[in-house]
Structure 1
């Protein structure tokens, strides 16, 4: 009976993979800095900020707005956390897969929305933002994250 010996990648492949992980971690630091700066900065809302815990309510409101405003609001929320769908699977093989990434996206978005609703002037909690943020993470993973992660880190 022949024993199965696991093939180790050459040292330079391991070094490149380590560099990819470091680059992804650096990218995450930069991403979080700008994401938190963007989402946790007070805004002038002229008293319009109101919370939303009814899924779909804000989306219906956005879609009743002029197309430019609707695209900015919906697209901005989809794009906001999308980089996580690429950076997280590169930083950690354990974060590959849509279920794990969706969970991370939902939890991070819930944290941001909760802080906005409780402590940031002119901002409010919106469940539709959580849904759109998580959708962005999943789309980024489906479109690029899976392939980028496998190319840079190898198979799971």
Structure 2
């Protein structure tokens, strides 16, 4: 069972998160997987940071634009994936690891799908920047938002964790299973 202030708000936030996540992924798919009508394309980049170094050599504006685009493309996933999950009481490190891994896999899927799209080029730097963008967005927003939501629960008197049975409480007799003989 997911925790929340009440059942309806949890369902509303999860549904909202799922809808926003789907809308964001549709926009990202349109931006990254549509065929481009270009005269020529650069070769695929499989060397990490080679494209970033080349952009830095072109100047600060080109580098800022390219790095910014890479960081911002999938950054909303850092917030939308945990929102769609709907959990409040979860380890911050586990949440970060799960979100970053999901963001990296989505970025990898986009890069792999781009191999068949005319005018689109596979770039390992995009994969790296997209993953870092997801991690930064998650680290900047999610822990504070979860803390704030848990604070609201504390003020309303509702518990964050579901109640469990006491450790020393009797649980009744242990069921026994009759032995069955081996058939001839």
TM-score range, shorter chain: 0.7 to 0.9
Deviations 1:41-63, CA, capped at 9 Å, x for gaps? 12244323311111110110121
CA distance in 1: counterparts of 2:14 and 2:56, whole angstroms: 39
Alignment of 1:7-156 (within 5 A): 13-92=6-85, 93=87, 97-116=95-114, 118-151=115-148
What TM-score does the superposition give when structure 2 sets the normalisation length?
0.71
Taking a change above 3 Å as real, the CA distance of residues 90 and 49 of structure 1, as seen in their structure-2 partners, is same
Deviations 1:109-133, CA, capped at 9 Å, x for gaps? 11101111x2111111111100000
Select the structure that is richer in helix.
Answer: 1
Taking a change above 3 Å as real, the CA distance of residues 152 and 41 of structure 1, as seen in their structure-2 partners, is farther
CA distance in 2: counterparts of 1:33 and 1:102, whole angstroms: 19
What TM-score does the superposition give when structure 1 sets the normalisation length?
0.82
- The structure 1 segments of at least 4 consecutive aligned residues displaced by more than 3 Å after TM superposition are 93-96, 149-156
Taking a change above 3 Å as real, the CA distance of residues 63 and 50 of structure 1, as seen in their structure-2 partners, is same
Q: Paired residue for 1:5?
A: none
Taking a change above 3 Å as real, the CA distance of residues 45 and 66 of structure 1, as seen in their structure-2 partners, is farther
Deviations 1:62-121, CA, capped at 9 Å, x for gaps? 2122322222211111001101100111111379622111211111111101111x2111
Two-structure CA RMSD over aligned residues (Å): 2.4
How many residues of Structure 1 are paired with residues of Structure 2 in the alignment?
Answer: 146
